[in-house]
Amino acid sequence: MFLNCKTYFSFRYGTYSVEELVGHAASLGHTSIALTNINNTCRIWDFAELCRDKGISPVLGTEIRDKKNRFQYILLARNTAGFGELNHFLSTHLELKLPFPKRPEATKDLYVIYPLGCFQPEELNENELIGVQPTEATRLFGKGVEKYTKKFVVRHPVTFKKEDYNLHRLLRAVDENIVLSKQEPGQISPPHERFVPTERIEKAFELYPFIVENTRLVMEDCSVKLEFHTDKNKKHYSASSEDDRIFLEKLALEGMRYRYGSKNKEAERRVRKELKVIHDLGFNAYFLITYNIILYAQSRGFPHVGRGSGANSIVAYCLKITDVDPIKLDLYFERFLNKFRTSPPDFDIDFSWTDRDEVIDYVFKSYGKDHVALLGMYTTFQHKAIVRELGKVFGLAKTEVDSLLRDRDATFQEDSAQRLILKYSQRLINFPNHLSIHPGGMLISEEAMRNYCATDIPPKGFVTSQLDMFAAEKVGLHKLDILSQRGLGSIKETIRLVKLNKGVDIDIHQVEKFISDPKLAEQIKRADTIGCFYIESPAMRQLLTKLRCDSYITLVAASSIIRPGVSSSGMMQEYIWRYNNPGKFKYLHPVLEEHLKETYGVMVYQEDVIKIAHHYAGLDMAEADILRRAMSGKYRGDKEMRRLEDQFFAGAKALGRPKEVTAEVWRQIRSFGGYSFSKAHSASFAVESYQTLYLKTYYPMEFMVGVINNFGGFYSTELYFHELKKAGATVHLPCVNHSEIMTSIKGVDVFTGLVHILGLNDKLKETIIEERSLNGPYADLADFIERTNIGEESLHTLINIGALRFTGLNKKELSWHATFLKTKMKNRHLGKQLFKTQPIEYQLPPLTQYSLEDAIDEIELLGFTMCNPFDIVDDDGEYVPAAHLVPHLGKEIVVLGYLIDWKPVHTKHGQFMFFGTFIDAAGNWLDTVHFPNAASFYPLQGKGYYRMYGTVIEEFGQYSLNVGRLEKVGIKKRKGQLTH
């Protein structure tokens, strides 16, 4: 009877979750309902599965609305072919941004249900129907509907539960971006769009019982057979499964000889064992497709990192999909792929952010746009966004909303509007907001993708499925993650610069060579890692120091314990202590001693969760892996998590484990599981860390320029220029005769790129470079003005940043000449002149330029100064340098630092404190700790210089300053004016 039901995947419209809709229908005794979300088929596979579990016959459809949100018609799939046609219809219009037709093309596999009054029954084709709402039944009187008994059905929309009508109104106001008081009836659904007793509907149509009967017949006729968890991926890479098997074996054995030589029996044994499992489970094509993508990337010079559980595979290592040696790290393939695994594995492949889209485009072109789609996902409403949106709906001023969000102690009880925001914000948490794109997932299907879902093209420009990762798993589509990150951009750019500047080709995949290099070991032990992927942050550098890290194995562990889960559980500190005090600690339980010896009894990797769940609580390996997946967010909701928790405690009790020990083991599992890495994932990150560390160690200047040009990394561009000068480079300000768009290096001379000049438009930057390339360097100021046709404001910007210093004139002299020349040329055709005009000579009085003025100009136009920042601080005092903290351990000292970064945290009692990272006048790092009292009375006041009073403290060889008091220091005055 209910063939027009919506969920909250009718974005900003419905209020039911899929589970709530099906559960409510089942509780009312309905045996068939239709899901018709607005202009999409999102979560339709979940709907069908839930209906099947509840004994309900699912009807699959969609509700079509125009761009003004006006109802047009419903489409219902009669069969599996109709479901494909429905998806095709939606996809065609959504991808091309075409308006939906008022009357879609008739087809035998789809029902089309129009609103009453849209068409006359005699105009309709066989499967076109008219939907009549119970409130419209009286309009049928005298219309001769009895002559067309097969053309009318009941259309009673279900949009919300009775108690959620106001929630629907709020969602519609958010969508329309209006205050609630301005909402009009046509913008919302009427209050009756909810489940009502079937008897009430039958009563409304008592004069037309054939309409009720026809509705039942239509719903019974709709039967789509969805096959869950059956392989729908591209079946073969080559001509057949057997050809794939032979080809993969050939590639794997060739790669094995490259990685291990020709006499490594253990490597060959593992390769052949994996190949059999891969073939038996039908994953030959998946490996070969991934290999093909890597091959393409290598041909284009795109660096990549294969990570995630795929790095457990020696075949992936031999194919150069990953650079992690699973034999060396004792990684087991079964974590990635085994015959008992209930969910599909996937490869995570990182490319540079500059290369990723080209790789994605290659996949689309290789396997066809009808068979490839990016994986979808749903962005959800979260607290801050909800408060902002509801604040607008209730007419609150932006300042009031900002104040509520800033105040951590806000109770939202000051007035009725705030109370309503609090009430409905709690209900809206995790409501889907709109369809989005998974960060990297791609699907490649054997049959057309539209057989399984509708597709769209978001602003990213690639076809995207209306399946999320959970639905794709139900369908039987295995995702391949093509991800992006900035670290690889730095590697690519550095390799290019080294080739250009030194003529050296670098093979960045010589990971074994990097790992065993003593120079790299010493560099990482000193935590000299600024710019290096994943190991440059203050927290990571401190951790490396505390662990005295000088090996790959230790770095792999560090890459995992730095994650929020391990650190927030207190286990990071425990690991550091145990690492530095072997033999001086007691294991929580003998099971942990036996199975976590490598990590001193501390759970560091996701695999540790599996080990402990299995060996401590008796969960079988499949259940233990499900627990690992549940904790890492691989399942929706927490129902499964609660079941596994009960099973864990029951299993531990059955094995006689002490109750208090079990509680602590579970706490450790729960607190870190959601943020932990698999060991293979950590190992992959460590590989990239070593690759960047190698470049920094042997090509420090090119590397730092690469980091600067990549516009990524943990720190600001200012700090990377600071590191570049420490590496020995002579850094020049932008120059129109030497600079490129990006920062460039020749020998040890580095010219800052024009891209860094704030306020200079991109077209002018390109013009400067192109004109210089075509007609040679600029001869003088007049020549530059004539050839670039530069505007007066941009000209003075270039003068003030020193980009015209090649003229031999200082900035003040250049400004005077520029004003004269621009006035003189105002009425003249500019550009390249056939005959050069001789400049007019005149005498200027002495105009002095001061270095402090230059520094101020640099701060205004670059965002920072190229000189030592301490050259302009208004303080000439004597301070203890950061390099001399050791002899002052336990003593009170005063230091002067330039703020680089700070990290706010809360103590276990909820008090606010923070950690600071500064540099001193010598350019050395200074780490500070600001406990709650100091943090409260002496907060940081933004970027700048701080005079700090405190005590030198030490922890595992890491020295820092426990700050008791601080003062902000300004910069020097210029002609009586204090500048900031």
Average pLDDT over residues 428-439: 92
pLDDT of residue 672: 65
Residue closest to 18 by CA, chosen among 468, 644, 629? 468
What is the number of other CB atoms lying within 10 angstroms of the CB of residue 951? 16
Beta pairing class for 152-154 and 128-132: parallel
> Which pTM was predicted?
0.84
Tally: H helices and E strands in the chain: 36, 24
Is pLDDT of 770 > 90? yes
Whether the per-residue pLDDT at 720 is higher than 50: the answer is: yes
The C-alpha R_g of the chain, in whole angstroms, comes to 34
Q: List, in order, residues 6 or more apart from 892 with CB less than 8 Å away.
A: 949, 950, 951
Nearest to 431 by CA among 57, 160, 784, 722: 160
Q: What integer pLDDT is reported at residue 830 of this predicted model? A: 44
pLDDT of 980: 35
Sign of the Cα torsion 68, 69, 75, 80 reads positive
User: By CB neighbour count within 10 A (0-12 exposed, 13-18 middle, 19+ buried), where does 876 fall?
Assistant: exposed
Q: Supply the pLDDT for residue 341.
A: 65
What pLDDT digit, counting tens, does each position of 160-219 carry?
999 999 999 999 999 999 999 999 999 999 999 999 999 999 999 999 999 999 999 999
Predicted local distance difference test score (pLDDT) of residue 975: 46
Q: What's the pLDDT at 610?
A: 83
| H/E element, 949 | strand 945-955
- On whether the CB atoms of residues 212 and 205 are closer than 8 A, the answer is yes
pLDDT for the residue 390: 93
Which residues, 6 or more positions from 512, have their beta carbon under 8 angstroms from its beta carbon? 325
pLDDT tens digits, residue range 65-84?
999 999 999 999 999 999 99
Give the integer Cα–Cα distance in Å for 461 and 334.
37
Helix (H) or strand (E) holding 738: none
- Residue 180: in which H helix or E strand, if any? none
Mean pLDDT confidence for 553-569: 81
For residue 467, pLDDT beyond 90:
yes
Name the nearest CA neighbour of 709 among 571, 450, 546, 531: 531
Per the listing, tokens 């860094």 go with 756
Looking at the chain, the whole-number percentage of residues with pLDDT higher than 90 is 73
Continuous segment of H or E residues that includes residue 688: helix 679-698
What tokens does 653 get?
């009790």
As to burial, measured by CB atoms within 10 angstroms (0-12 exposed, 13-18 middle, 19+ buried), residue 630 is buried
pLDDT classification of 847: cutoffs 50, 70, 90 = low
* Structure confidence by residue, pLDDT tens digits, 852-887: 888 989 999 999 999 989 999 999 899 999 999 999
Three-class DSSP category at 422 = helix
Q: Name the residue with tokens 């699912």.
A: 58
Residue 153, both tokens:
């059905």
pLDDT, tens digit (0-9, with 9 covering 90-100), for 257-303: 999 999 999 999 999 999 999 999 899 999 999 999 999 999 999 99
Three-class secondary structure assignment of 504-533: CCCCCCCHHHHHCCHHHHHHHHCCCCCCCC
pLDDT digits (tens, 9 = 90+) for 384-430: 999 999 999 999 888 888 888 887 667 777 788 888 988 898 899 99
The residues pairing with 38 across neighbouring beta strands, listed in sequence order, are: 63
* 907, two tokens: 């103590």
Supply the mean pLDDT for the chain: 90
For residue 950, what is the enclosing H or E element?
Answer: strand 945-955
Instruction: Name 794's Cβ contacts closer than 8 Å, sequence gap at least 6.
Output: 760, 761, 764
CA distance 321 to 318: 8
- Asked if residue 900 has pLDDT above 80, the reply is yes
DSSP per position, 127-179: TEEEEE-GGGGGGGTTS-GGGGTTSEEE---B-S-GGGHHHHHHHHHHHHT--
Say what the pLDDT of residue 401 is: 87
Count Cβ atoms below 10 Å from residue 776 Cβ, excluding itself.
11
pLDDT tens for 509-552 read 888 899 999 999 999 999 999 999 999 999 899 999 999 999 99
Instruction: Please count the other Cβ atoms lying within 10 Å of the Cβ belonging to residue 822.
Output: 16
Distance CA 501, CA 267 (A): 39
State the pLDDT at residue 977: 40
Q: How many CB atoms lie within 10 A of CB 899?
A: 18
Q: What percentage of the chain carries pLDDT values higher than 70?
A: 94
Give 308-366 as a DSSP string. Answer: GGGGG-HHHHHTTS----TTTTT--GGGT--TT-SS----EEEEETTTHHHHHHHHHHH
Of residues 286, 304, 298, the one with CA closest to residue 347? 286
Lowest mean pLDDT among 38-42, 446-450, 754-758, 845-849: 845-849
